[in-house]
Amino acid sequence: MPTIRRLACSLLLCGLIAAPLRAATFNLETASIADIQAAVDAGALTYEKLVTLCLARVAAYDKQGPAINTVITLNPKAIETARALDAEFKAKGRRTPLHGIPVLVKDNFDTYDLPTSGGTFLLAESVPYADAPMIKQLRDAGIIILAKTNLDEFAHGGVGYSSRGGQTRNPHDPRRHPAGSSGGTGAGLAAWFAPLGLGTDTGGSIRGPSSANGVVGLKPTNGLTSRTGIVPCTLSFDTGGPMARTVADVALSLGFMTGVDPRDPLTRTSAGLFYTDYTPFLKKDALKGVRLGVIRDYSDTDPEVLRVFNEALAELRSLGAILVDDLHYPAVALNNRANVMEPMRVAEVKQNYADYLSTLRPGFPKSVGELGEQGMKLTEANGKFFPHPSVFTRFKRFADGPPTSGIAYTSAKEHGMLAVRGAVLGLLEANQVAALVYPTRSRQPELINPETPNIVDRVSTPSLTSIANVTQFPDVIVPAGLTKEKMPVTISFFGPAFSEPKLLGYAYAYEQATHHRVAPSTTPALPGETFTY
């Protein structure tokens, strides 16, 4: 017997007896970017097949079935690009871990080969001269733009409605909105149209849709990613960032979006502070011994959200976090929208839009005043969707607004922003906490109002998210559970500037211990999405 064992071992070492292989299962519903690349490495999946699976889901569920309506423009060359990346992979290997990964891009990021409309009929045919830097960096890494996704008109709003795309619906309950303004990206990720997405955030526009659709999102520190080539909202508060179905995928993709952009002076603040790889900070024990402050402002808005949040706090404690409960923001932070954001927006939008519109090809409006005038001239629906009137009446007002040299603006920018930032840092310091945790949205997504195109004042949910924009601090969102109505609730990990490594670590530890992300029942699996290899 010993002789037989020795012979078997010798044959095995020589490769004459194949070692048994462990079977793996690929499931599009749960597949992370790492899972996708493992299946490609094993020869069980190609990037062309992956894109084909994603496009099949778009065909089945975006305009048909639950008709969640996330896509403004489908990339006609997505499969062609996937084939080219398959050939490149076979010949040269993988460029980066993002090689061949389909991405949903909010339709306010400039793309040289697809229109960038900002969600408005006025820019429906606008094809920019060049990619936004964030898009170029991702394309250089090997991603595939699957589609440009719907957003609120010019990213002004929070219900996912635009004159370019109409109303996006929440795949967890198509009667409800997906939040905004990155609602198309959030809903598309929840419905598994792609593993990765891009959103922008001025007051909560990455975080609201991440929460409402039950996916992961990151509003980065302002200056960590470039704002160049993004249709502006209010540049002092704007930032772009990743959205995905897992914390690991958000962390992985973030490293390909960072860097100093000479055309965006705010990115200089990130010099020496950004990373090109955030995945080493993802540790399952990252919450052990960490002091977190629990924000209770607006906690009585929705009993179901509060219940899920309290259960999440118990889970954080079980993972070793030390919670300092019942914290509240000072009034200067809570009142930031009226006292800081509004004076700055009224003065800044005029110049922000003039700068962006000047980069477009001939034939498009060149000022916020022109946008307002042309939008208000439309008295009937443009195609299927009527433009939301409040955007254009606002633009007319902004055209006659005060200059950025005025006292109201300079006071808000130079003193108001610092006051809010100081209030948050003071709260962290006084309670000796590393970060703050709160329910990202204080209530569940509301039912879609059929009168949305005619409502001047849109849904207003009590929100803490704008504090991150005024302070310019990062905020990471992760699923925390479901309400009795089966709607997602998320928690936010909010911390000081450039604390993304720690916040992503906390979110990862929580996600890996709880696995609260749930697939929508309205967009079930299709044939071929699960296979063993």
Closest by CA position to 503, among listed 433, 431, 424: 433
What strand order describes the sheet that includes 239-244? 71-74, 144-149, 102-106, 196-201, 239-244, 216-219, 475-482, 488-494, 435-439, 291-295, 322-327
441 token code pair: 């949205």
C-beta of residue 234 within 8 angstroms of C-beta of residue 341: yes
Distance between CA 141 and CA 134 in Å, rounded? 11
Q: Where are the beta strands (DSSP E) in 102-203?
A: 102-106, 144-149, 161-162, 166-167, 196-201
Q: Where are the beta strands (DSSP E) in 333-442?
A: 435-439
Question: Residues 181, 211, 270, 442: which is the catalytic one?
Answer: 181
Distance between CA 218 and CA 265 in Å, rounded? 21
Closest by CA position to 459, among listed 104, 177, 69, 52: 177
**Residues paired with residue 218 on neighbouring β-strands, in sequence order:** 476
Cα angle: 195, vertex 176, 529; to 5 degrees: 30
Q: How far apart are the first and last CA of the chain?
A: 34
Question: Residues 106, 219, 350, 502: which is the catalytic one?
Answer: 106
Active site residue 358: no
Active site residue 288: no
In this structure, what DSSP letter does residue 291 have?
E
Rg value, the chain, Cα: 23
Phi-psi region of 391 (alpha: psi -120 to 50; beta: other; left: phi over 0): alpha
Active site residue 106: yes
Question: Residues 126, 163, 205, 463: which is the catalytic one?
Answer: 205
Cα–chain-centroid distance for residue 435? 20
Quick count: other Cβ atoms within 10 Å of Cβ 496? 17
User: Can you tell me whether residue 59 is helix, strand or coil?
Assistant: helix
Please give the positions annotated as active site: 106, 181, 205
